[in-house]
Amino acid sequence: MSAGHRFSDAERGGVYRAIFERRDVRSQFLPDPIPADVLERLLRAAHHAPSVGFMQPWDFIVVEDPAVKHEVKALHAQANAQAAHNYRDERAELYRQLKLEGIVESPINLCITCDRGRGGEHVLGRNTMLDADLFSACLAVQNLWLAARAEGIGVGWVSILEPRELARVLGLPEGVEPLAYLCLGYVSQFLERPELQTRGWRSRLPLQDLVHANVWGGEVQDPALRSALLAGEPDRDPTRGG
């Protein structure tokens, strides 16, 4: 009975496949348009994310105007040039080689915002964790990203942007913050591994080093869980054999 609400093996496989094959896309966008019904499904998936106090703090700005895209790309170029100064030597050279956006190449840009005043002065569940509205909007991003992967659509999150300047370009009202600027489109391929990993920027951390029991630093005592953590492969869908 404990497994009575579980999805079928095929359905569970689809969920895990979307999670493990999701990629942050920068270089593989195709110019093919996204059909309206597909885009609507993605937006509806995002709108069904959980939110603190059911405040649903998100709005979705669909950007197709080339002029707006080029203005945002200019913001990225400025912020990216500044960010490059954070690195030295080989790291700086690698950073300059990375393509970190697909603003113009992707057919649709999407800005997901967070209205921090939605729901009134006192939002259920946000009295102590005041940024829970931002966390909620991030869940909308994740919902959309996984749904997009299932539809064969790539998503790239452009975080190298100055938020106040982006808000100005998009005409956001006071109290509404640009949480995620995303590039959406069909792609030539989904890379087997995250691009930053294959380019040598960072590797995926071992899960067993990140799991604590009861308190920070507490060693996992359950031998079955400990064995499973050690045996698991970092980039493999756990529902697939081989």
Phi, psi (rounded to 5 degrees) for 180: -145, 130
Q: Are 34 and 108 in contact (CB under 8 A)?
A: yes
d(CA 81, CA 96): 9
Sign of CA dihedral 137, 142, 147, 148: positive
CB atoms within 10 A of CB 49: 18
Pairing mode of beta strands 108-115, 153-157? unpaired
Look over the chain and give the mean of its residue pLDDT values, rounded to a whole number. Answer: 95
Phi, psi (rounded to 5 degrees) for 238: -70, -15
- Please say if the pLDDT value at position 54 is more than 70: yes
pLDDT of residue 4: 87
Binned at pLDDT 50, 70 and 90, residue 104 comes out as: very high
Arithmetic mean of pLDDT, 125-141: 97
- DSSP letter string, 118-174: TT-SS-TT-SS-TTHHHHHHHHHHHHHHHHHHHTTEEEEE---S-HHHHHHHHTPPT
pLDDT of residue 232: 82
d(CA 192, CA 204): 14
pLDDT of residue 242: 46
Domain range list for the chain = 14-203, 204-234
pLDDT tens, residue by residue, 186-237: 999 999 999 999 999 999 999 999 999 999 999 999 999 999 999 987 777 6
Superfamily (CATH) of domain 14-203: NADH Oxidase (3.40.109.10)
pLDDT of residue 91: 96
pLDDT of residue 241: 56
> Residue 187 gets which letter from DSSP?
B
Please state the separation of Cα 54 from the chain's center in Å. Answer: 21
- Please say if the pLDDT value at position 74 is more than 60: yes
Predicted structure pTM score: 0.94
